[in-house]
Each structure stands twice: as structure tokens, then as C-alpha cells.
Structure 1
Amino acid sequence: MRLIHVLVSDEQRDPVLSALDDRNVTYVVLDAEDGGEGDLLVEFPLPNDGTGDVMDALGEAGLDETAYTVVGTAETATTATMSALEDRYSGDFDPLTRQALRSKAKDMSHDLRSFVWMILLSAIIATAGLLVNSPAVVVGSMVIAPMVGPVLTASVGTVTGDREMLADSVRLQVIGLVVAVVTATAFSYVLRTFSFVPMLEISAIGQISSRVAPSLLTVAVGLASGSAAAFGLTTKGPTSLIGVMIAAALIPAAGTAGIAVVWGYPTIAVGSLLLLAVSLVAINVSSLATLWYLGYRPRRSDSGLLTFENGRRIATFAVGAVAIALVVGAAVVGTYQQVGYERAINQEIESVLDDPEYANLTLVQTSIEYGFVGELFGPETVTVTISRTADGEFPDLADRLQRRIADRTGQRPALRVTFVDYEVAEAPPG
């Protein structure tokens, strides 16, 4: 329930009150002694989902949106028309007004000191979680990372034409990611220097191997989380849980980059930094697109940030759009090639294992490590995990698999075969 107070001038009185009457809204008119000669304070309660519709009607009636307007929360309201209003708006989706949207986004912002401190702590937790391969610890780092604030205030600043809000938000995003990567690198260096963590094949750690490069799925995660955050912001509900999804696309990737730098994996470091950049762009683009789709637009009365009347702004926007398209397009093409390559490898492996001599072997999983092969980026190592009975020996399997993969794909990566041994219990008598 909302309780709304608006200051109305004498000349606006009749059209404003007529608009309220047309929507069957019960109101109270009070003299505004401090507002100026002839000013009136109009007060009325509304269901939450009716706020946008009624405020738009008052704007069309001539009420200045910059005039004194207070939208508060009411526990309950009893008027002659409240029941009818609740029935009318109960099934409607009514996004927050521009003023309420801006206020809610502002409430999510942090001062620089607390923002940096929380990012620092979340990066430390994420790095530890990645190294011990603990999904629970990695999720914990996402919960405390405050990245959703600057992402949403950037989009809100854009659609409301608030140049200062947009600039501050972009600055916080850049600072946050730099702090996250630097913290993860420094923490990883301490862990390795003092032997708190042994030498690792980090690409074999599940939590890290899934964040070594951008892919179509990571772009989809970024787009979906940014859109969900923006949509959640336009409603009356909280956005704290949505913020976890924003952080999920960013903080673990920053931790992976720091770990890869310290452990000497430049390819993984570059790939995770690219993943970080692609995810951040996807989140911001989808957040802005969602607000735009829901009808939030900069107005000529705003600062003119997105009116596109300035040639420099048009050029900047065009360059940014092309850069985004190239990055996302490269990720999509790379993912398509990667998926096709992995499918071909798995088909060849299964074809070999279909031979009668390998009847007791079962493919468990295939993992591929990518790197710079010569001057090109491509598959460097293929690790095939196969289950077998404990007494089985297959010395020629690796060479045979490598030849089949080379014939099928034209690539000749190093191939490793690891076996998971098991024993079969005899059936009990009787």
C-alpha cells in the first residue's frame, strides 16, 4: 500500500483532482501554508500496482514531476473506493515510477570505502573456494560481493539521463573488478609462496576449469542475470538474491585470473579476464535493454545524456555497440567451434570403445585444455577418463585414440588416458 502526497498549484487543482476522480481515487486536500499562495497538498492512498498508472495520469493533467511529491508506505488504508481499486490493479504488473526507480537504485549504492572492502573480502573467499574446489565457498563469495549496485545504477542513470549516476557507476564497476583481480593475485601469491597450497594443475580443478574462457553459455548467464536484476529493480520486491547472480558471473572469474597469473598459466589468465569482460558487458547491456523495454526512457528535461543530439555521443555509442558485437560474436563463434570439436572427439572415442576388445571399458568424461599451439589458439591436451575392471591392461589405447582424433579433426593434441578401476562382486549363492 502506498500513501502519496503531492503539492498542487491553484491552476493545477481542477485537472489534477479530475484525474483522481476519473480513477475513483479517494483523496484529501489540505492547505499548504508553506508551499506558496494558493498551493494545496493532496494526499491519497493507492494499491502498490496502481501507483504508476495514477502518477502518469497526474502528469498528463499537468502536475510537474519535479514538484514536491512523496510516495510513502502505508500498512493499511480504508476508503470508500479502496476495495475497488485493489480489484482493478490486483492483476496488473506496474513497474516503479521513474522517481521510485531512481530512489531504489540509489539505495543500493555503496560508498567507495565499503564497496572496495566488500569486493576485497569476496575476492579472497572466491580464490580460496576455487583452490579447494568448494562450490559452497565460491557461492559464499558471491553473496557478499556488492556488484549489483553499480550495475543497476549505471542502467538507471542511462535511462533517466543522470550523467553523474552513470559515471559513478561505471567507475565503481571498473574499480571493483580491478580490486577483485589484484586481490585474488596477491592472495594466491601468499598462498603459493608460503606453501599453504601445493603445486597444482589448476586446469584440473573443476571450479576453475569451467571459468577459463568465455563461451555462449557464459554470455547467456550474463544476459539473463542482468535482465533479471533490472526487472527485479522495477518491482517492489528486494534485489539482494538477484545480486548473487550478478556476482556469480564476475567474482569467480576474477579469482581464476589471479590464480592463473600466480601459478603461471597465461592462457587461462587471459581467457578468464576475457570471460570477465564479456560477462560485464553482457550484464550491463541486458540490464539497460530490459529497462528500455519496460518503457524507461531519458526525457528532454533530463541531462540529455542519451538524446543522441551530440555527434560525439553518437560516435561513442556506435563504437561501443560495434565493440560489444565483436566480443559477443567472437565468444559465440569460439563456443560453436569448441562444442563441435568436443563432439567430434567424443564420437571417435566411443567409436573406438565399441570394438569388442574394449567391451569392459566405459567412457567417464573427456576434458580438453586449450592453449597456444604454435601461433594459433587451439586444443593443447585431451584427457580421457575411462572406467575398467582392475585386471584390464590396454597399452595401445592412447595411441589409437590420438590417431583417430587427428584423422577426424586435423588437430594433434597431446592425449592422456586415465583409468578408474573397479571390481565386480560375485553374486551371492542361492
Structure 2
Amino acid sequence: MRVIAPADRSAAVRDLLVAEPGATHVAVFPGAAVQPAGDVIEADVAREAADDLLGQLCTLGVDRSGGVTLELIDTSLSDAADAAEEAAPGDPQDAVIWDEVVARTGEESRLSISYQAFLTIACLLAAIGAITDSPVTVVGAMVLGPEFGPLAAVAVGLVLRRGDLVRRGAVALGAGFPLAMAVTALGTLLLDATGLLSTAQLADLDQVAFIYEVGPFSLIVALLAGAAGMLSLTSAKSASLVGVFISVTTVPAAAFASVALVEGRYVQAMQSGLQLAVNLVGIVIAAAAVLLLARSRSERGGRKLSAG
């Protein structure tokens, strides 16, 4: 943790870090900060203690008059660090740093060119996988799917009452998926024109029928995906493999809806669209439920948090 504090609050910040059992390696650099001006105070902090410290630093107004930066430490060879880790209550993997959650979801939920490109390519790959009845290609599309960021932003925004996060995630989903599906539909028309696709190819898709067959397990998978995704986000676990699991329920359904609609298979198109809608809602519901459980264990989960 690196804190830039005005000179008149530097001592309070230093005392706060020194008094925290879960913090160690406290160092003070008077006058080292130029913009904003002030002292730089650094400390190694156990993850379990970070959220409470951030709350106290915000109470001191350091986030407004100075700044606070968190960086992950991969390796620390120190008895003092080991002692701080032991002194901090709970398990580091279960600790939720709410500011970190807000910052990550805010950053990953933007409707950017790269987000749209990844989502569009994922839908195109999923469409090819569906057309060729190739689960391997569909899995490849899942790897590229970037939609968990906006879904997580909506869930976080609902739980923390952050309208900006809800709007940002909704825009990324509401604009991103239709555009990706439109491009996929154009790609399907191109395949039709070149003779690489016929409606008969969509009649027997045993390997990828899960894409458009809506049932109770569709919602169950979506709920499990949402819960797993939010757990990975709040526990600082890698979200890459979880992102694949999330895309099982979204990208293939969006892609196949476009293909089926172009090919005149309206029932399958409607089923795929319904599958997509059910899964998006289920993911958000489960993700929000996980956040609510985490918030109930946190003393400051309801604090108004700044966007990242």
C-alpha cells in the first residue's frame, strides 16, 4: 500500500499503519510526493486488513487530498510479513477489498473497441462451431468472450447501489451483443452466398444442441457461472478459466440466434435468444447474491465507493 498524504495528515496515516497488526514494513518519505504534494508512506498489508485500512484512510480524507495505491506482492521473505499475515483475521483468499472490486469491474465493463472486437470474433467463431457441429470451435469462442466484465459491473452496481456501474455494464451488453450478432448475421449471409452453408446443416446438431435447447439446466448453469465468476473476482482468483465458463451460457447462444434467423429457422433462433436472455439474467442474479453474502461479512460493504 502506497499513500500520498498532505504533511498535516502524514503522522495520522503513519500511526494508523503502525497500529494495524496486519501491516508491516512501514516506511515514510517526507516531502517525496510532488503532485499532489505531501509525504509518501508505504507499507506491506495483509489482504485481510486492506479493506478496513482503506476505509480508515478515506475517513482521514486521504483519497481526496492525496492518494492511495494498492499493488500485489508476489513474494515477500520476511518474518515480520509472516507475523502480519498471521495477525490479520480470516483467510486472504476470502477477503474482499471492495474498492478493488469496484475498480476492476469499472475498468472491464467499458464499451471499447477491443471489447467489441473480442465479442464479435467470439460470436463468429461460435457460429462456425455451431454450423460445423464442432464443440471444440465453440470452446475456442468461449475463450475469447469478454462479457463477464459488464455482467459483473451490473451485479456490483446493483448491490452497492452504483448507478454508474449498472449503466456502464448495461450499455456494453446492450450495444455489444446486438452489434456482434449483426456482424455474425452478415457473415452467415456471406457463407450462404459462397455455398458454404445451407439450412440443412442446422437440422442435425447433436454436439451443440445445448446452445438453443432451453430448459431448467440452462438457468442452473447460468446461476453457477455467475456465482463462480463473482467468487473469482472477489477472492482475487484468476478469472480467465471462469470467463470460459461464463461464455458457455452467452456467446454460443447469441451467435446461433443470428445464424438460425438468417437461415429461416425461427424456432431455433427464438430458443437461442431466450437462452441468451435467461443466462444473462441468471448470471447477474447469482453474482449479486454472492456479493450480498460477501457484503454481509464486511463492516463497510455499504460505503459509497469511488469508481475505478
Q: Taking structure 1 as the reference length, what is the TM-score of the superposition? A: 0.61
Counterpart for residue 200 of structure 2:
200
Counterpart for residue 269 of structure 1:
269
SS in 2 for 1:66: helix
Q: How far did 1:275 drift?
A: 0.9
1:127 aligns with 2:127: yes
C-alpha distance in structure 1 between counterparts of 2:22 and 2:207, whole Å: 57
C-alpha distance in structure 2 between counterparts of 1:268 and 1:226, whole Å: 25
Per-residue CA distance 1:321-380 (angstroms, 9 max, x = gap): xxxxxxxxxxxxxxxxxxxxxxxxxxxxxxxxxxxxxxxxxxxxxxxxxxxxxxxxxxxx
Q: Taking structure 2 as the reference length, what is the TM-score of the superposition? A: 0.82
| 1:145-156 to 2 correspondences below 5 Å | 145-156=145-156
The verdict on how the C-alpha distance between 1:177 and 1:11 changes in structure 2, with shifts beyond 3 A counting, is closer
The verdict on how the C-alpha distance between 1:150 and 1:31 changes in structure 2, with shifts beyond 3 A counting, is same
The verdict on how the C-alpha distance between 1:35 and 1:17 changes in structure 2, with shifts beyond 3 A counting, is farther
Counterpart for residue 99 of structure 1:
99
Counterpart for residue 303 of structure 2:
299
Q: How far did 1:109 drift?
A: 4.0
Counterpart for residue 176 of structure 2:
176
Aligned length: 298
Code of the aligned partner of 1:283: I
Question: What's the RMSD between the two structures over aligned residues?
Answer: 3.2
Code of the aligned partner of 1:182: A
Q: How far did 1:12 drift?
A: 7.9
Code of the aligned partner of 1:299: R
Counterpart for residue 43 of structure 1:
42
Q: How far did 1:70 drift?
A: 1.4
Code of the aligned partner of 2:23: V
**Contact 2:131 2:201 (8 Å CA) reproduced:** no
The verdict on how the C-alpha distance between 1:79 and 1:131 changes in structure 2, with shifts beyond 3 A counting, is closer
Q: How far did 1:136 drift?
A: 0.3
Counterpart for residue 73 of structure 1:
72
**Contact 1:202 1:209 (8 Å CA) reproduced:** no
Per-residue CA distance 1:264-321 (angstroms, 9 max, x = gap): 2222211111111111111112112212221174435779xxxxxxxxxxxxxxxxxx
Code of the aligned partner of 1:21: A
Counterpart for residue 244 of structure 1:
244
Code of the aligned partner of 1:23: P
C-alpha distance in structure 1 between counterparts of 2:23 and 2:212, whole Å: 57
Q: How far did 1:156 drift?
A: 3.0
Code of the aligned partner of 2:263: W
Structure 2 spans left out of the alignment, 5+ residues: none
Counterpart for residue 23 of structure 2:
25
The verdict on how the C-alpha distance between 1:115 and 1:15 changes in structure 2, with shifts beyond 3 A counting, is closer
Report which stretch shifted further, 188-197 or 105-114.
105-114
Code of the aligned partner of 1:134: S
Q: How far did 1:168 drift?
A: 1.9
| 1:22-421 to 2 correspondences below 5 Å | 22-23=20-21, 25-26=23-24, 27-32=26-31, 40-56=39-55, 58=56, 62-64=59-61, 66-67=63-64, 68-77=67-76, 81-89=80-88, 92=91, 93-109=93-109, 111-200=111-200, 202-295=202-295, 297-299=301-303
**Contact 2:110 2:172 (8 Å CA) reproduced:** no
SS in 2 for 1:268: helix
C-alpha distance in structure 2 between counterparts of 1:198 and 1:19, whole Å: 67
Per-residue CA distance 1:202-236 (angstroms, 9 max, x = gap): 24211443233421101011111111111111122
Report which stretch shifted further, 220-229 or 149-158.
149-158
Could you tell me the percent identity over the aligned residues?
Answer: 21
Q: How far did 1:33 drift?
A: 6.3
The verdict on how the C-alpha distance between 1:82 and 1:186 changes in structure 2, with shifts beyond 3 A counting, is same
C-alpha distance in structure 2 between counterparts of 1:164 and 1:275, whole Å: 27
Structure 1 spans left out of the alignment, 5+ residues: 304-430
Code of the aligned partner of 1:263: E
Q: Which has the higher contact order (CA 8 A, sep 6+)?
A: 2
Counterpart for residue 384 of structure 1:
none
The verdict on how the C-alpha distance between 1:268 and 1:34 changes in structure 2, with shifts beyond 3 A counting, is closer
